[in-house]
């Protein structure tokens, strides 16, 4: 297993494989205390920058949002020394000013899932409370903002991502409810992913790619139109990632480990297996 200091991780769609110039270095099959990740973790190199990648829904895109093992994905990246996690995901827009092909660099989340997802590394004898007041790392978000600007991609900085259970899309009534709550975009995957990254002491930031207006807007889109938007988003994401990797590699900032001050249960009460897990999370 290759463990790198302050490594970069990307969680997203399989389009990452298609970035021009990418070199696949190795696949890491990792068994975590929380089960298997969505797929083996791919170690890749792009323009001399190494990073680790997990296709969130699996290589064959065969995992529903609630079937993704978010804990295993984050823990596997942590085992590999990942300090910075860039999340790439498709979303619907809840605002007129955020049309399709806009990249929204959100800074807040609303959890509207329904309890089917394992959402914490803690429990079973270890009590910990980690602040999620600021779930997005502002420094990493800033790097993504400048990378979008360099790539000449239409973007919007800040915003609220509401995460629903899925796999069904919203009803119009639900969509209008979320819009009234002040949410900017709607998706199905960034919770509990973002919260788990915080529990693991990692910097996390999201590129939310708008594919369509959600059900609140009475606007019909054909499958061809949606596929065209998705293709453009994937192309733009590849350009942003290429720039972001270079920018982040040249500025591997220190990450504040808020998880280290959230553990309430004394260490002498931890079991040997819990000590092993905690040594990874708190590293």
Residue 186, strand partner residues: 92, 162
**Rounded CA separation 202/191 (Å):** 15
**Model pLDDT for residues 186-243, shown as the tens digit of each residue:** 999 999 999 999 999 999 999 999 999 999 998 766 778 888 999 999 999 999 999 9
With CA atoms as reference, report the closest residue to 174 among 117, 210, 214: 214
> Which one of the listed residues 212, 218, 251, 254 is annotated catalytic?
212
**Model pLDDT for residues 125-164, shown as the tens digit of each residue:** 999 999 999 999 999 999 999 999 999 999 999 999 999 9
- 213: phi then psi, degrees, rounded to nearest 5: -80, 140
> Which one of the listed residues 124, 214, 218, 254 is annotated catalytic?
214
Residue 226: the pLDDT is 81
Q: What's the number of domains the chain is made of? A: 1
Task: Confirm whether 226 is domain-assigned.
Answer: yes
| pLDDT higher than threshold 90 for residue 105 | yes
The answer to whether 124 is a known catalytic residue is no
Task: Confirm whether 15 is domain-assigned.
Answer: yes
Q: Which whole number is the average pLDDT over 36-46? A: 97
Number of residues that make up the chain: 283
Residue 224: the pLDDT is 83
Task: Confirm whether 279 is domain-assigned.
Answer: no
Residue 218: the pLDDT is 81
| pLDDT higher than threshold 90 for residue 14 | no
| pLDDT higher than threshold 90 for residue 1 | no
**Model pLDDT for residues 24-35, shown as the tens digit of each residue:** 999 999 999 999
> Which residues, at least 6 apart from 225, have a Cβ–Cβ distance to it below 8 Å?
none
Local structure of residue 82 (DSSP, 8 states):
E
Residue 142: the pLDDT is 98
Q: Range of 78's domain? A: 7-273
Q: How many CA atoms, within 13 angstroms, populate the side-chain half-sphere of residue 10?
A: 29
Task: Confirm whether 283 is domain-assigned.
Answer: no
The answer to whether 218 is a known catalytic residue is no
Residue 2: the pLDDT is 67
Task: Confirm whether 2 is domain-assigned.
Answer: no
**Model pLDDT for residues 42-85, shown as the tens digit of each residue:** 999 999 999 999 999 999 999 999 999 999 999 999 999 999 99
CATH code, domain carrying 58 = 3.40.50.1580
148: left (phi over 0), alpha (psi -120 to 50) or beta: alpha
């Amino acid at each position: 297993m290759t463990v790198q200091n302050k490594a970069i991780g990307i969680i997203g769609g399989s389009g990452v494989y298609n970035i021009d110039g990418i070199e696949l270095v190795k696949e890491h099959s990792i068994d975590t205390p929380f089960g298997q990740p969505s797929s083996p973790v791919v170690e890749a190199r792009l323009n001399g920058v190494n990073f680790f990648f997990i296709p969130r829904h699996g290589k064959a895109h065969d995992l529903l949002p609630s079937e993704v093992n978010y804990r295993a994905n984050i823990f596997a990246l942590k085992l590999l020394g990942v300090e910075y996690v860039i999340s790439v995901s498709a979303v619907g827009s809840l605002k007129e000013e955020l049309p399709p092909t806009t990249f929204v660099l959100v800074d807040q989340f609303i959890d509207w899932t329904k309890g089917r997802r394992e959402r914490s590394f803690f429990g079973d004898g270890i009590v910990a409370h980690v602040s999620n007041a600021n779930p997005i790392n502002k420094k990493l978000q800033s790097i993504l903002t400048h990378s979008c600007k360099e790539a000449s991609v239409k973007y919007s900085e800040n915003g609220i991502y509401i995460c629903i259970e899925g796999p069904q899309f919203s009803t119009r009534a639900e969509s209008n409810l979320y819009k009234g709550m002040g949410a900017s975009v709607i998706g199905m995957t960034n919770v509990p992913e973002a919260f788990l990254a915080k529990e693991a002491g990692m910097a996390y930031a999201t590129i939310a790619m708008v594919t369509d207006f959600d059900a609140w807007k009475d606007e019909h889109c054909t499958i061809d139109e949606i596929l065209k938007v998705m293709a453009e988003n994937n192309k733009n994401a590849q350009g942003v990632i290429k720039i972001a990797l270079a920018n982040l590699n040249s500025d591997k900032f220190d990450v504040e480990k808020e998880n280290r001050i959230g553990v309430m249960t004394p260490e002498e009460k931890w079991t040997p297996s819990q000590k092993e897990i905690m040594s990874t999370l708190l590293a």
